[in-house]
A and B are shown apart, each in its own frame.
Chain A
Amino acid sequence: MNTVQLKKGQKIFAWVFATAFLFPTVGAASIDAGLDWQPVVSESLIRMPAKYLNSSIERDFQKSTLASGLSTLETQLMTEVSKMQSMMKNLKTVEGEANAALRHDLLLAKSNYLELMSDKQSLKKRALNKKSGVYQKVLSTLQQKRLLASDPVSASLVASQKSARERMNRVVADVDELLLQNPFSKVSSYQKEYGVNLAKIEQLKQAINKHKGSENPILNGQTLNREQYIRFLQSNVESDLALLDQEQLMLGYMAKLVALDAQSLEHELEARGNDGPLTKPLAQARLMNTVDLFLGQ
């Protein structure tokens, strides 16, 4: 890059930094609105063992355009970082105009990096908000189901069903006896197989309860139920969002620093003049320096 191009770019440079990066949200407008993730809170997700819930949501996210956009940005950021590192290394070895040009390039790289980082944070925030929404929806569905199951009408129905079962169980033997006495009746296959199947069902139930997939997640030695675990996942997302806010503040400060560097470079180059070295201040025409001119004639 030559010096003329360098000078033209300076004012725009400082302006871009002073506006876009002091307010990171303005920079977010450049993100492709097509990058999205539409998670669905299905019945299977709600019924899924709690310990697999997070990985299932994460897998769904990885399939989205939002995740691929984030991954692309991550690659671009790494490229910018390695570019900046190599420039920083070279900066110590060059002097004069080449040094100024390299500093300018470094500022451009920093600008790109900050812009990409701002985009990344915006996408990450979108993803975290969506994730938080999913957890919230699962949690409210579970709470709704729990409330429905414990409402007075359902509770009275469950009670009447329980007492009906007990009442029927008391006469099952009498009914079976009646069946044997009835000349038109014979023992049905349902009755023959029910007892056998019942024993098998009990075995299956026990196997399900013992299966490690049915185990509730354990956190710090404490077993969490489904609702507690989802609340824990939700609080993790909220922590990530809070950290992201903090990172956005850092980004703003970094942008301000780059803007100051750009301004400083601009002033330095202006002071140097068109052809390079800095203009020395004019020597003052002092009276005492001219005294000799008036003596000795």
Chain B
Amino acid sequence: MNGYLKIMCAVIVLGATLTAQADNKSLENLERERVDLMKVMLDSSLSVEERAQRIGVSEQRLIDLERMVMRDDRLIGSKDPLVRRAFADYDGTFLVHASVESKRHIVDFWMQTLGLDTQSIMSSKQGRK
């Protein structure tokens, strides 16, 4: 009986601990991967092929991470500002899925979310503020 109670208490504590871990590790991983992708996009030292290859690898990781975040029930209703910000900007957070949805290449799509297109870049002038 005593052993049974100990097991029950341990299981309840374990269950409570597992369900209480409302952290946002999945979202943090996604943010890190996104930063890596942006570094690759902006790295002028890479050749076109190298960049395309590295973006492809990054895209694959991002697909998994975006789905992990989206399927993470612990993030539902979370008070964390990171979570609120992430879901307030779907296009920026779920870059791969949003780019496929808009039928654009991921780099173009990202530029578009920032308000940068060829026309605006070409019309910009170099100068000192």
Contacts and interface: CB of A to CB of B under 8 A. Distances in A.
A281 B33 CA distance: 112
Given A175-B63, A191-B64, A168 B84 contact: no
24 contacts: A44-B13, A47-B16, A47-B20, A154-B77, A157-B83, A158-B76, A160-B88, A161-B76, A161-B77, A164-B94, A167-B97, A167-B101, A168-B70, A168-B94, A170-B101, A171-B101, A172-B67, A174-B101, A175-B100, A182-B60, A185-B57, A188-B61, A188-B63, A190-B67
A160 B100 CA distance: 20
A275 interface: no
A185 B60 contact: yes
Given A47-B16, A161-B87, A184-B53, 15 more contacts: A47-B15, A154-B77, A157-B87, A161-B76, A165-B70, A167-B97, A168-B94, A170-B101, A171-B97, A172-B97, A182-B60, A183-B56, A184-B56, A184-B57, A188-B63
B100 A171 contact: yes
Interface of A: 43-44, 47-48, 59, 149, 154, 157-158, 160-161, 164-165, 167-168, 170-172, 174-175, 178-179, 182-186, 188, 190-191, 194
Contacts of A164: 70, 87, 90, 94
A188 to B, nearest CB: 5
B87 A160 contact: yes
Contacts of B61: 188
Interface of B: 5, 12-13, 15-16, 19-20, 52-53, 56-57, 59-61, 63-64, 66-68, 70, 75-79, 83-84, 87-88, 90, 94, 96-97, 100-101
B25 to A, nearest CB: 15
A175 B64 contact: no
Contacts of B101: 167, 170-171, 174
Nearest to B68: A190
Contact of A44 (B16, B52, B53, B59): B16
A162 to B, nearest CB: 9
A184 B60 contact: yes
A174 B100 contact: yes
B15 to A, nearest CB: 7
Contacts of A154: 77, 79
A185 B100 contact: no
